[in-house]
Structure 1
């Protein structure tokens, strides 16, 4: 588990944005789409420090997602 002092895990994406549920699956912090939907709807996921309850919310490079003590930063896949 990450501590606040550890840098966030960088998650590269190919497009200009990715849906929040897809990001959680891509990063491997949830097992499947059903789990992603559940943790998002329960308010357990943040985007840039604010709780996000929409699974389809678009996350763009430079934004930081938090879940279960882990931080993920979206980056462009160069």
Structure 2
């Protein structure tokens, strides 16, 4: 499943989205607080590894796994 667009960019100009923002935009969680709790509890995997940093930068092609569901990140530029 492709996911929401964000216009944030890294210093090397690649578009990205932060993990907590991704979970909210994808409708996985209802609030940023819920995203924080689930991430810090070790419930979210990024590229098959437990991720506890809620501000983890995600790029196109990264896989987010929560509750046996997998999303493939697709970040596009939104100028």
Q: Do these two structures clear the TM 0.5 threshold for a shared fold by scoring above it?
A: yes
Q: For 2:60, what is the secondary structure of its paired residue?
A: coil
Which one has a larger percent strand, Structure 1 or Structure 2?
Answer: 1
Q: For 2:20, what is the secondary structure of its paired residue?
A: helix
TM-score by length of 1: 0.82
The total of aligned residue pairs comes to 70
Aligned-pair RMSD on alpha carbons? 1.3
Runs of at least 4 residues off by over 6 Å: none
TM-score by length of 2: 0.81
Which sections of structure 2, spanning at least 5 residues, go unmatched? 8-14
Which sections of structure 1, spanning at least 5 residues, go unmatched? 1-8
